């Protein structure tokens, strides 16, 4: 319900940013894990809008402490990731997938570097895919750093940095589903699979940048793609 009520508002925000979305193919039906890169704090809203279907997002825990915004996150069913309670968030994400839901998970875990590029991916997306059989759908985002508003907020007992998109262009490219098979107990395999997923995300972010033909967008750090089977 909250998704459909908020969608027109996010749509207006997207038009303000000149949101440009390209999908390589239709999203698969049933459970799936959407894995975008994370250049801005605005990404969860715009990624959800681009999917055109309800989803739940793993969101850093302190966001739920922001007055008003935290209430929205709870009402929308998003999953808090609290330091020291990662297994609890992981279990909620697994349950959502097993119930046929769509999950948005940012493999970087935090905002991408302010100067551009990407963080080393965490392994949560790969492990959830191996546990549930849900496909991974990589998503690449590219946005102009000139249109960002950087701020720090005092939440609880810490200062939290955020980075909001106020001007576009803002490009999203949704890739084709990736299907993982393998031994979840093989930590080297899981780590390599996570890096391969990130390679696809980087390639899609670069595609978003190229499509917008904006030389001032953040540079993408590219590596040769290794197919994920």
Instruction: Give me the domain span that covers residue 21.
Output: 2-211
Q: What is the pLDDT of residue 121?
A: 97
State the 10-residue block means of pLDDT for the chain, 229 residues long.
Answer: 81 94 95 97 92 90 74 83 84 96 96 91 97 98 90 68 90 97 96 97 94 64 42
The bridge status of strand 19-23 relative to strand 32-36 is unpaired
Q: Could you report the per-residue pLDDT of 157-196, keeping only the tens digit for each?
A: 666 788 999 998 999 999 999 999 999 999 999 999 999 9
Residue 93 maps to a domain? yes
Residue 218 maps to a domain? no
Q: Could you report the per-residue pLDDT of 203-216, keeping only the tens digit for each?
A: 999 999 998 876 55
Q: What is the pLDDT of residue 172?
A: 97
CA 54 and chain centroid, separation: 14
Residue 154 maps to a domain? yes
Residue 229 maps to a domain? no
Residue 228 maps to a domain? no
Residue 227 maps to a domain? no
Query: Can you give the CATH number for the domain in which 12 is found?
Result: 3.40.1130
Does pTM surpass 0.85?
A: yes
Total structural domains in the chain? 1
Q: Is 35:178 a contact under the CB 8 Å cutoff? A: no
């Amino acid at each position: 319900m909250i998704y459909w009520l908020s969608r027109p508002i996010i749509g207006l925000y997207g038009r303000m940013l000149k949101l440009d979305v390209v999908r390589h193919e239709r999203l698969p039906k049933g459970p799936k894990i959407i894995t975008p890169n994370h250049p801005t704090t605005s990404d969860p809203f715009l990624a959800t809008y681009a999917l055109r279907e309800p989803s739940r997002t793993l969101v850093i825990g302190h966001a739920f402490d922001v007055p008003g915004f935290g209430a929205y996150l709870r009402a929308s069913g998003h999953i808090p990731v609290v330091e020291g309670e990662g297994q609890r968030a992981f279990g909620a994400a697994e349950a959502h997938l097993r119930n046929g839901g769509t999950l948005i998970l940012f493999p970087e875990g935090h905002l991408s570097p302010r100067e551009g590029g990407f963080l080393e991916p965490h392994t949560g997306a790969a492990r959830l895919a191996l546990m549930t059989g849900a496909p991974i759908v990589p998503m690449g985002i590219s946005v102009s750093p000139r249109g960002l508003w950087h701020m720090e907020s005092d939440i609880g007992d810490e200062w939290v940095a955020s980075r909001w998109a106020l001007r576009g262009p803002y490009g999203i490219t949704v890739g084709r589903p990736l299907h993982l098979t393998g031994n979840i107990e093989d930590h080297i395999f899981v780590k390599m699979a996570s890096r391969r997923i990130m390679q696809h995300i980087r390639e899609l972010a670069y595609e978003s940048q190229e499509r917008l033909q904006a030389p001032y967008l953040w540079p993408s750090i590219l590596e040769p793609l290794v197919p994920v089977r």
